[in-house]
Amino acid sequence: MRLKRYLWSLILGAVLVLNAASAFALNTVKNIRTGVQSDGIRIVFDGSEKFDYDAFLLDNPYRLVIDVKNAQFSGNPTVAANALIKSFRLGELSGGKGKRLVFELRDNAVIKRKFAIEPEKGKTNWRLVVDLTTSDGTAPTRTASKPVAAAPAKTVATTQASTKPVVIANKPVAKATPSNYQPKDPKRKKIVVLDPGHGGKDPGAIGRSWRTYEKNITLSMGKELKKQLEAKGFKVYMTRSTDIFIPLRKRVAIARSYHADLFISLHADSTYNRNAQGLSIYTLSETASDKEAAALAERENKADIIDGMDFSDNSPEINDVLISLSQNDSRNKSSKFAGYVVGEMKKQVKLVNNTHKFAGFAVLKAPDIPSVLVELGYLSNYTEETYLRQPNYRSKLAASITRAVVRYFSDPEISSSI
């Protein structure tokens, strides 16, 4: 026992030493890249170590400030001027323990996202990503990308309350209070795209008792949900409003063409077990949460593959991370909305165990749109097939989803990034 404790103490000591060494390792920032997106720009830093940073906005004039702590830059960094960035300058943080980058902006803007990314397998590069969007959510005007070297640093003017002094080019300036929470124009109607599953030549599941077609239930449900969401002030589109067949990849393309803030695909389940009952909701996962979810995703996806995403607006350097980053963000938001749906639905209807499930549905793979797939119940069950055929029951389901949508867009974390 004494030997075992001794060995554990050695291991613990080694871990603490390694962690301490890692914590104080100087981060060498090798590169700064920018890319224009549909509603703003993305700034990416490449570094040798994990980023310790802060990013915030200033007014009068408009500026984006990024403090990269415990860091140095290799060479003189350049940044391509674009529709939002006019120029930038580089300075020292107090004590020489990091760098401050001040980006002069052409107009007011909002920090949509900011996050650090661990190195990919087999690589050593850490990345810091800051997404900056226009304050009104419109696409920035494209300008020629001309590299701009860091201008000589000068004092950053600010009207914010002064706290601890920060030195840029050996001149003291006030460190502004970060303004991270800046929701976009609250008057802009949030856009929800509803996707009634199946249609046309594809009936979907067929009820065992009444021979009810899934495609008809989802279309009726979509129309009812659209009516209730519009009554709450949302702008709502449907991938189909008649009995037509739409390939899966086109459903995603429709949602992206409307610049959807949220995508809800509507389905009704079926299984060999006639006793199976309950509503469930799915969000995207590369690995399904259980065998049933994997089988369901395979049935829904059939031979359809999501492809053809257009990322031509971005530089090649940005594209290597864009899809995975956007999908991670969308997955997190999708899960948050799914939680709100479960919370509202459990007050009204029967839910399956582990109501929120994960599967690789093709219609959930839009990388930039939070998306969920709702299984409204089992057409293979006599009771639920009977309920789903009734307009009053569908209205009750729609009311629960509508309340979940309202709660989702009222969430400060969501409203600040839309």
Asked, for residue 180, whether it belongs to a domain, the answer is no
271 and 314 co-located in one domain:
yes
164 and 199 co-located in one domain:
no
90 and 198 co-located in one domain:
no
Asked, for residue 9, whether it belongs to a domain, the answer is no
Number of neighbours of residue 310 by Cβ within 10 angstroms: 9
86 and 214 co-located in one domain:
no
| CA–CA distances in Å: residue 212 to residues 119, 203, 207, 260, 299 | 51, 9, 5, 30, 18
Domain of residue 122, CATH code: 2.60.40.3500
Each residue's pLDDT tens digit in the chain (418 positions)? Answer: 443 454 445 445 544 444 444 445 788 998 888 887 766 788 989 899 988 888 888 877 888 989 898 888 887 887 878 888 888 888 888 766 788 889 999 888 888 888 888 887 777 788 898 988 875 555 454 444 445 555 544 433 333 333 333 333 333 333 333 333 344 556 789 999 999 999 999 999 999 999 999 999 999 999 999 999 999 999 999 999 999 999 998 998 899 889 999 999 999 999 999 999 999 999 987 565 565 555 556 655 533 333 334 444 545 454 445 555 566 778 889 999 999 999 999 999 999 988 998 888 888 877 779 999 999 999 999 999 999 999 999 999 999 999 999 999 999 888 877 7
| pLDDT at res. 154 | 40
Got the DSSP string for 240-253? -SSS----HHHHHH
Asked, for residue 133, whether it belongs to a domain, the answer is yes
331 and 240 co-located in one domain:
yes
154 and 200 co-located in one domain:
no
| pLDDT at res. 380 | 96
Got the DSSP string for 109-130? EEEEEEEEEPPPTT---EEEEE
Residue 309's identity, in one-letter code, is M
Of 215, 225, 220, 228, nearest in space to 268 by CA: 215
For residues 162 and 289, give the distance between their C-alpha atoms in angstroms, rounded to a whole number: 50
Asked, for residue 223, whether it belongs to a domain, the answer is yes
| CA–CA distances in Å: residue 154 to residues 67, 86, 95, 104 | 15, 16, 17, 12
Task: Write out the residue range of the structural domain in which residue 306 sits.
Answer: 191-415
| pLDDT at res. 7 | 42
For residues 197 and 374, give the distance between their C-alpha atoms in angstroms, rounded to a whole number: 10
| pLDDT at res. 197 | 95
Domain of residue 318, CATH code: 3.40.630.40
141 and 261 co-located in one domain:
no
Asked, for residue 1, whether it belongs to a domain, the answer is no
Asked, for residue 123, whether it belongs to a domain, the answer is yes
Pick the last residue of a domain from 174, 209, 227.
174
246 and 393 co-located in one domain:
yes
The whole model's pTM is what?
0.54
Asked if residue 268 lies in contact with residue 205, where contact means CB atoms within 8 angstroms, the answer is yes
170 and 294 co-located in one domain:
no
For residues 275 and 89, give the distance between their C-alpha atoms in angstroms, rounded to a whole number: 67
251 and 143 co-located in one domain:
no
Q: What is the pLDDT of residues 32-63, one digit of tens each?
A: 888 877 667 889 898 999 888 888 888 778 88
Average pLDDT, the chain: 77
| pLDDT at res. 181 | 36
- Angle at which helix 391-410 crosses helix 316-345, to 10 degrees, equals 130
| pLDDT at res. 290 | 61
For residues 269 and 289, give the distance between their C-alpha atoms in angstroms, rounded to a whole number: 17
SS3 336: helix
| pLDDT at res. 37 | 72
What sign does the CA torsion over 132, 136, 139, 141 have? negative
| pLDDT at res. 286 | 58
Domain tally for the chain?
A: 2
| pLDDT at res. 2 | 46
Asked, for residue 62, whether it belongs to a domain, the answer is yes
Asked, for residue 129, whether it belongs to a domain, the answer is yes
83 and 151 co-located in one domain:
yes
Pick the last residue of a domain from 132, 149, 174.
174
356 and 257 co-located in one domain:
yes
